[in-house]
Amino acid sequence: MFPIRLARSPLGLRGESGRTPWHDLRMLHMVTIEGLAHSDYGWRVLPSVKLRDLAYPEGCRVSMRGDVLQVHRPDGSVLAGTVGMWGVDAWQDADGNLVISSDPGDPEVSVTVAGLAEADLVPGSEVWIETYPMRDDPAEETAARP
C-alpha cells in the first residue's frame, strides 16, 4: 500500500481556465509512473493501483472524467492535466463472459491522463488527483464544474 499524501496544489489555479478553485484545493497522490499505454482517452498510467488503496479524505468524492490532476515530474516541474478515464483491465472472452485481470473482490484501477503528451509523463513522475468535497445536492456539483 502506498502512502496517502495530501497537499495544497502548487499550481493554485484550476486547470487552464485561470479561475481559482471553489473549494480548498487538496491533492491525493495516486501513483508513481512506471510506464504508459495509449488509449482513446489519453495515456493510461502504469501500474494500476488497488481501489481500496485510494483512500479519499472523508467527505470527498471520487474523481471523475474531466477532473483536475497534476503530474509532479522528477525534475521538479508540475504539469496540469485532467482525468481522461478510470479503468479496470477487462475484456470479453469467447463465451461472452466479462473477465478482469485483478481480483473482483479487490480490483485494481488505472487512470488515463488527458491533456498531456507522452513526453510529459516520464517514469518516476507522480500522478496527483484533485479531491472534491461531496455535495448534498448533485446538481450543485454539476453547476460548480468549469
Residue 35 lies in a domain: yes
List, for residues 117-131, the tens digit of each pLDDT value: 999 999 999 999 887
pLDDT at residue 102, as a whole number? 84
* Region 97-105 average pLDDT: 84
pLDDT at residue 3, as a whole number? 35
Residue 77 lies in a domain: yes
The CATH code of the domain that includes 98 is: 2.40.30
CA–CA separation, 43 vs 81, rounded Å?
Answer: 11
What domain range includes position 88?
6-135
pLDDT at residue 35, as a whole number? 95
Question: Which secondary structure element, helix H or strand E, spans residue 141, and what is its range?
Answer: helix 138-144
Residue 21 lies in a domain: yes
Q: With bands split at pLDDT 50, 70 and 90, how would you rate the model's confidence at 144? A: low
Number of domains in the chain: 1
List, for residues 39-58, the tens digit of each pLDDT value: 888 999 999 888 777 766 77
- Residue predicted with more confidence, 90 or 113: 113
List, for residues 53-81, the tens digit of each pLDDT value: 776 677 777 778 888 899 999 999 999 99
**Which conformational region is residue 96 in: left (phi greater than 0), alpha (psi within -120 to 50 degrees), or beta?**
left
pLDDT at residue 52, as a whole number? 76
Q: Is 90's pLDDT higher than 70?
A: yes
Residue 85 lies in a domain: yes
* Region 20-35 average pLDDT: 70
